[in-house]
A and B are shown apart, each in its own frame.
Chain A
Amino acid sequence: MTTGLADLERELERFPSSVVDEFRRATQKVSPKLSDFDVASWAKQGVDIAKQTVRSWEAASEFFRASPEVVDTLNATQLLDWGRQGSLLCQESPSLAVAFFRSSPRAFHSLRPRYIQSWANLGKTFYRGTWKSSALSAKFFEISGPVLESANFSELERFAELMDYVSHKSSDLAAECMAMAEQVLPKVGGDRLAFIRLCRAVAEANWREVKGCFESVSRLTTYIQEGQRAKFMDMTAEMAKSGMPNISLFINESATSLGRATAASQGRFLELAQTLIPKSHEAASAFLRNAPGLLGRISEVQVEAWYDHGMRILQDNPDGGMAYFKIESNTSEEVIDLLSSAVELEKIEEILRMYCRGLAGAEVDIASSRDMAGKNIGWVSEDHATTEGTTVFLPQEMNKFPSKDENFSFFKVVSTHQVAHIEFGSFGFDFDAPASRFQDNRHLREEEVQKQRRERLAARAQQQAQQPDFPLPPRLAALEGATLPPTPAPTDGDGTAEKGYLTDMGRFFDLFPIRKLALDIFTVLEDARLDYRVKAEYPGVAPAYRHIQQDALDQRPDIKEMPLQEAMVEFLVRFSLHQYKNLPVPTEFMDHAAVIAEVAKRLLHTDAAVEDTSEATLRVYDIIADLPNQQMDEEDWSEMDVEEQELSDDQLDELLDQMREMRQGNDGTQGEQDQQGEEYESPPQVDFRGDFKPELSQILNTLRQQMGQGQASGQQMQMSPEMLQQMLANSPELELDAESGQFNADLAMFIQNLVKEAGAQPPDQPGQGYGPIPHQDEDGGSLEAREPKTFVYDEWDFRAGDYKPRWCIVREKPMAEGDTQFYTDTVHSYGRLMSQIRRQFEMLMPEEYKKVKHLPDGDDFDLDAVVEAIIDKWAGESPTDKVHWRRNKIDRDVAVAFLLDMSASTAEAIDEARRVEDWDAPDDPVEYMVWLRARRGEGARRTYKRIIDLEKESIVLLIHALETVGDVYGIYGFSGYGRENVEYYVIKDMEETFGERVKRRIDKITPLHATRMGPAIRHVTSKLDKQEKRTKLLMLISDGRPQDRGYSREGVEKEYAVHDTKMALTEARRKGITPFALTVDKAGHDYLKTMCQDMGYEVLGDINNLPSRLPMLYRKLTF
């Protein structure tokens, strides 16, 4: 060590010892790489730094610590320059220098030495003399290294500029962003500049969102293809510049949405969106969020057509265009629907339901297969059609074929096939019924099987006596349990039941050791029978049927890769799909296949019934089960043709006998036991035929019947869950995993579901809520009515000039019941008015008599007619004898519905109702609750009458009047909060008769939430529409303008609600209903004028008049 260094070291000794330590360590490492002179300069630099200010020794310490690493990448001049920059930073603040030095080693992996000064300066720009800014600057140095590993320096500069900009707004935010940048920037890859530009745009528009931008990057990179990112980000930047809020949400959503498209499509979508931006950035954003999702339904080209249409609307009507691209307008949905070749079950459900009912002649319902799978009662496939005997389950959507017609016809073929199960009796299998196309072998076989089992059991009993602890695997144990029908069976005189089987189907399948194989054969044969029957019975559908059969054939898997048994079943499947030519068959077993085909052919006859299928199954099973389930070599296959011609009975029997002899000749026993080869697995099912589960269906139907009987006679269920469990443990129709150890638990749950399904009555207890109310955002899309007694309605968006489809959910519930006290009190206090009203209504009765002319007899001559008759007579014509008139009683034919506003504002005391107040419910749920509570509290403290009380009293008086004239009437209250919770309370339904319950319900009418009038009106309209009356009246009684959370555009435009209400009233009018609005809101004229235009309305000046005015008004309207 030179003296110079030693001196310097001494100088350092007045600083904490760590500095000296670092100095010594560094010197050792640095000295060999530099000349002595440079080492001295270097050391001097460090010491100078340390001496700068009070805390600069820390910077010096870092300087020394970093030096050995840095010296590897820098030459002497650069090293000294580095030190100088650090020193300069240290003059600003030692902590900057500390960060600078500390970050240097890593940064210098990527940072070119010539940028050292710029880099230091970049860091320095953040420093504004505050503690926070120094931390920010330090953070910048820290992340520079990692960032530079993927970015170049000019990008780092851009980034620093961005951060600088952000830090002017909030240094905390900038710090957070920097922390994220370390991860984010490498992720963005080559699109860093675009990303920085985007962030810059966002920062300038709304700096708070920058963080969101950073956060959404990972989603962006996951979903958007690399080539498209820059384009996407630049576009987003443009949107941000044009003032679009909530950029990060947009990035997240549109990225996710674009993720569904391929790179090329993404590019195209982005181009399309780009052209939208100048028109409306909102529309562009909506387009990006929604368009890729459409790809499932329509092709990319069609999306463009959809886009073009929307573009035209957008030009004429920006709001309409917005709604269009948000897919919140009917036009939009219609266009999609028009373009799409997909057919949705929902849309054609009614047609198919009636079609199926027509064919089956029984109450057949249509539901989606998803519903069935969801029940967990054995049917698992969501995409396949199926039926259990009463309902045909179909896939939710069909988009397999390029045109709507073809997809519809697929639905039709599928449902025809499923209905054929019902129509042609697949589920009516009776073990004891004779077959018509075969000799009956079932009973013989049953005896044989039983005998063999007894012998085997006896043998095992012996064996077990010797080896008592030998445990059976669970599945096997279950199997053993089912081998002998052990349970005391429900006795209904049926042979099947006596033998201890739940169903005939179960009894039949019990004849086979490999049940799965038996089920598959049975299924294919039964399907073949039905396909034939359908084609014979409905020649019109036959072409479509053949088309779909052919399509199914094209999709069959390669038979040559299947082991023998499966291949034979597959052969049968293909035969059943009407492939008669060039059927691939293993050469060795061609004869077998030929016989199988012959047996199957027997079923292709209009006389063949399900029992024939069972006999055919017996025969085919015997042939297939005997074959080894082994893979065949490619060259062992040949092709055969099947003749259309059918063999005679004798010929077939002869063939079958030959087969049997061949088997016995082989090994003399049933070949199944010592079989070689793989375990049998089912070939994939044929799509259009769907899931066929004859045994389960029979069980379900039996259960249903028993439930019905049990309920009628009060008996216990005859089929216990234990019995079911025993029976079902072995059913091949259940796809439960025997090995998982879950078997028993799964089975038990499954049986529970099954029993529940058989009970089938969904508990529908009015008066109880339907669980917590789901909250949906106003920006969400269409809603779906899932629960009972919920209805979904469109809402009119007057700006868009179109309906928002399925926008509101109306929840109908009966009003809670209170006391009759209110009713009685009202009757008392209004005694005089009441009798007055009654008298007036009674007096109306005579008005109902009208004069009817041109009668042959009557009260008196109709002079006009007499004169005419006499003239006729003189003219030589035969005069009419219809010269009398008479008063004829014409039945009053009126139905009326009263719709009562139960909004919170009706809690206003009537004398203070004049007080001007903002009646808008706050949009934020939390604020809303506070607002609501405040309102209710106010109401509760008051002892005087509220608006609602007057409404209630009017109702009481009205009921009196209505009961006098005998009109059909309903009284409903409505309120709600948000579009998904429009509450609709039934106080008295149309069909209901007036009684105690209604009186009690009136008591419970209380102010609730907001006033979304549109859906309530639509719902009451649908109720009135069902009434077959000449005069229908809808009376809306409210206390103010319609308003609700989100019942406006952007929460400010009250017109929106008014227009929707108006549209709802117009809809009612179109249906022949006369709407009338009565309001107690003095300011009512302004909006009622818009709302009701040419319809009747009345603003009640003095609210106290309501009880007397309402009945009078009613009288005026209906007489």
Chain B
Amino acid sequence: MTTPLKGTRSVYREFLIEEYRVEEEPFYIPVGDEIELFEAAYQQKIPVLLKGPTGCGKTRFVEHMSWRLGRPLSRVSPNSDNGGSSVPLITVACHEDLTASDLVGRYLLEGEETKWIDGPLTRAVKAGAICYLDEIVEARKDTTVLIHPLTDHRRLLPIEKRGQVLFADDGFLLCMSYNPGYQSALKDLKQSTRQRFVAIEFDYPDREVEAKVIEHESGVNPTVAISLAKLGEKVRNLKDYGLQEGSSTRLLIYAGKLIKQGIAPRRACQCAVVWGVTDDHEVQRSMEEIISSIFE
């Protein structure tokens, strides 16, 4: 739903969050049975935890599933008369300051009165959307506890400030992502939280698949794509030997995009991959040597 703002000539694409849908099929190549798993979980209303390193395609997967689940064949949401072709997707990026009211909703002052505004979670619950909490461990622990009643058989959301409980629409699914390696020990997910989800583990795809992804996303030719994928693989080999985290598919795509724009491959990889991944000069040097071996 596009609403041109009054008084300006620019046109924004603006949606109410529960009305945002993925219209086009997001490009996604399944690596294993993750699509089937997610579909099954959705049917059975089991919340899903997506684990995996950064930039390996978790978010893309959720977008893809949102699109896929909306298709007639697999549509399970009875609340399907909203005209769209996919299940709405509400993404909440979690951060340290994310409070309960940020998720559930809060009263706002409006003139002399106050007005209740639903938070994204409440809206998802009402609309039967997939609520995707990205990087859940970043959220404060007291916030995380809030989702507990939604994730078990009860499927309800207590709205404390209004003294209400809200039952979830059948199409609602809570989904969150979590990157096990990178957070500090302090920020680990509580057992009581994580044991409410089925987990799907993601990792970077193997060379051929990743090359296809890179090729599709960045538009480079297959040779460059496979080289980038090769680079990704080699850089990931360095994890724990000087690198905290290997290079993500996302970074490889960025490199691909730069190459597509005419930047020399070695330089593109240096900017997108090497400097993106580490500040350590020696590690940088090693990675640059790998790059200069792979790219002419």
Contact = CB atoms under 8 A, between A and B. Distances in A.
B295 A539 contact: yes
Contacts of B235: 358
B141 to A, nearest CB: 13
Given A354-B286, A412-B289, A881-B106, A856 B99 contact: yes
Interface in B176-201: none
B60 interface: no
B250 to A, nearest CB: 19
Nearest to B285: A351
A351 B238 contact: no
Given A358-B287, A538-B294, A539-B227, 19 more contacts: A350-B282, A350-B286, A353-B241, A354-B282, A355-B286, A355-B289, A358-B286, A359-B237, A361-B237, A412-B293, A416-B293, A539-B295, A539-B296, A540-B266, A540-B291, A540-B295, A541-B292, A878-B109, A881-B101
Interface in B223-264: 227, 230, 233-235, 237-238, 241-242
A881 B161 CA distance: 14
B237 A360 contact: yes
B98 to A, nearest CB: 11
Interface string A630-662: 000000000000000000000000000000000
A543 B282 CA distance: 24
Nearest to B246: A358
Contacts of A879: 109
Contacts of A358: 234-235, 237-238, 286-287, 290
Interface string B260-296: 0000001000000000000000110111011111111
B293 A540 contact: yes
Contacts of B286: 350-355, 358
B108 interface: yes
A354 B238 contact: yes
A355 B108 CA distance: 57
A354 B109 contact: no
Interface of A: 350-355, 357-362, 412, 416, 537-543, 856-857, 873, 878-879, 881
Q: For A350, A359, A362, A878, which residue has the most chain B Cβ atoms within 10 angstroms? A: A359
Contacts of B227: 539
A856 B103 CA distance: 13
24 contacts: A350-B286, A351-B282, A353-B286, A354-B242, A354-B287, A357-B237, A357-B241, A358-B238, A358-B286, A359-B237, A360-B237, A416-B293, A538-B293, A538-B294, A539-B227, A539-B294, A539-B295, A540-B266, A540-B292, A540-B294, A541-B293, A873-B109, A878-B108, A879-B109
B128 to A, nearest CB: 28
Interface of B: 99, 101, 106, 108-109, 227, 230, 233-235, 237-238, 241-242, 266, 282-283, 285-287, 289-296
A354 B283 contact: yes
Nearest to A854: B97
Contacts of B289: 351-352, 355, 412
A857 B99 CA distance: 10
- Interface of chain A, main secondary structure: helix
Contacts of A540: 266, 291-296
Nearest to A876: B111
B284 to A, nearest CB: 9
A354 B295 CA distance: 18
B101 A359 contact: no
Given A856-B99, A878-B109, A357 B238 contact: yes
Contacts of B99: 856-857
Q: For A352, A354, A856, which residue has the most chain B Cβ atoms within 10 angstroms? A: A354
A874 to B, nearest CB: 10
Shortest 8 CB-CB contacts between residues of A and residues of B: A354-B286, A538-B293, A541-B293, A361-B237, A358-B234, A540-B295, A355-B289, A351-B286
Nearest to B286: A354
B296 A856 contact: no
B204 to A, nearest CB: 13
Contacts of B242: 354
Nearest to A873: B109
A360 B296 CA distance: 20
Nearest to A891: B186
Contacts of B287: 354, 358
Nearest to B243: A354
A873 B108 CA distance: 10
A428 B238 CA distance: 23
Contacts of A538: 293-294
A538 B295 CA distance: 7
Contacts of A360: 237
A1056 to B, nearest CB: 32
Contacts of A537: 230, 294
B101 to A, nearest CB: 6
Contacts of B101: 856, 881
Contacts of A539: 227, 294-296
Contacts of A878: 108-109
Contacts of B296: 539-540, 542-543
Contacts of B233: 361
A999 B292 CA distance: 55
A881 B109 CA distance: 10
Contacts of A354: 238, 241-242, 282-283, 286-287
A947 B269 CA distance: 61
Contacts of B292: 540-541
B252 to A, nearest CB: 15
A881 B290 CA distance: 52
A538 B294 CA distance: 4
Nearest to B235: A358
Nearest to A878: B108
Q: For A358, A856, A873, which residue has the most chain B Cβ atoms within 10 angstroms? A: A358
Nearest to B282: A350
Nearest to A539: B296
Contacts of B294: 537-540
B234 to A, nearest CB: 4
Contacts of B293: 355, 359, 412, 416, 538, 540-541
A359 B101 CA distance: 49
B283 to A, nearest CB: 6
A865 to B, nearest CB: 14
A350 B238 CA distance: 12
Nearest to A354: B286
B199 to A, nearest CB: 26
B109 to A, nearest CB: 6
A361 B231 CA distance: 12
B290 A355 contact: yes
A250 B237 CA distance: 53
Contacts of A361: 233-234, 237
B233 to A, nearest CB: 7
Nearest to A411: B289
A352 B296 CA distance: 19
Nearest to A869: B109
Contacts of A881: 101, 106
Contacts of A856: 99, 101
A540 B227 CA distance: 10
A329 to B, nearest CB: 23
Contacts of B283: 354
Contacts of A416: 293
Contacts of B109: 873, 878-879
Q: For B106, B109, B230, B293, which residue has the most chain A Cβ atoms within 10 angstroms? A: B293
A539 B291 CA distance: 10
A632 to B, nearest CB: 41
Nearest to A872: B109
Q: For A357, A361, A857, A879, which residue has the most chain B Cβ atoms within 10 angstroms? A: A357
Q: For B242, B290, B292, B294, which residue has the most chain A Cβ atoms within 10 angstroms? A: B290
A350 B266 CA distance: 21
A319 B233 CA distance: 52
B292 to A, nearest CB: 5
A1011 B132 CA distance: 62
A540 B295 CA distance: 4
